[in-house]
Amino acid sequence: MKNVIELNHPLITHKLAILRDKKTSTKEFRELVSEIAMFVCYEAMHDAKLESVEIETPIKKFKTKKIDQDKYAFVPILRAGMGMLDGVITVIPNAKIGHVGMYRDEKTFKPVNYFFKVPKDIEKREVIILDPMLATGGSAIDAIELLKSKGVKKIKFLCIIAAPEGLKLVTEKHPDVKIYCGCIDKHLNKDKYIVPGLGDAGDRIYGTK
């Protein structure tokens, strides 16, 4: 699928196998979400713009390049997206952080937005949205729309597991947004859960069920 980048790497497959396992503890689940998020973010930064800098090594002055970390903002979708934050912050420590609060209505499966707070200069930044699960795609579509309504021009969406149905909808609705995911799973079940998936990411991160 155009604009969808799936990390096809043995380390991700290995970590996902532990993450998906229903016997995995809350502690280990949290650690893995953060670690996988770090790898997905690393991949998503492959096209980061570099600027020239001069530094001095212990040996000599040296012209090299650095990323301008002040150009980025992470926006986790609450609750589960918060689980990815520690990992991605290790990749871009100076990024600012916004929050979108969203839950899926249990009957309609439609997202309900309950919180939205982003840095003042958000429209000047590249925004990287975080949510471990992209299922129907409803939450992703609404979060992207909220950010576009604030004038944001460049958006990437990072997730850990995505369903083909949701990817199709999000890429049709927002063809300018690149989606980076650890793995594209098989399909959604009748309750709109990803199969095989990992269950409810928020509940597993916070131990709420």
Which residue from 129, 117, 121, 112 is spatially nearest to 177, judged by alpha carbons?
Answer: 129
Which option in ligand URA, ligand PRP, none does residue 137 bind, with CB closer than 5 to 8 A by kind? ligand PRP
20 is catalytic: no
Give the C-alpha separation, 71 to 184, whole Å. Answer: 29
Output the CA angle 162-169-142, nearest 5 degrees.
90
Smallest separation, CB 76 to ligand PRP (Å): 9
What b-and-e string marks burial along 28-48, b requiring 16 or more CB atoms within 10 Å of the CB?
Answer: ebbbbbbbbbbbbbebbbeee
Smallest separation, CB 22 to ligand URA (Å): 13
Contact 84, 91 (CB under 8 A): no
Give the C-alpha separation, 40 to 195, whole Å. Answer: 21
**29 vs 180, beta carbon nearer ligand URA:** 29
Which option in ligand URA, ligand PRP, none does residue 87 bind, with CB closer than 5 to 8 A by kind? none
> Is residue 134 a contact point for ligand PRP (CB under 6 A)?
yes
30 is catalytic: no
Smallest separation, CB 178 to ligand URA (Å): 21
By CB under 6 A, name the binding residues for ligand PRP: 77-80, 102-104, 109, 111, 131-140, 166, 192, 200-202
Catalytic residues: 104, 108, 200, 203
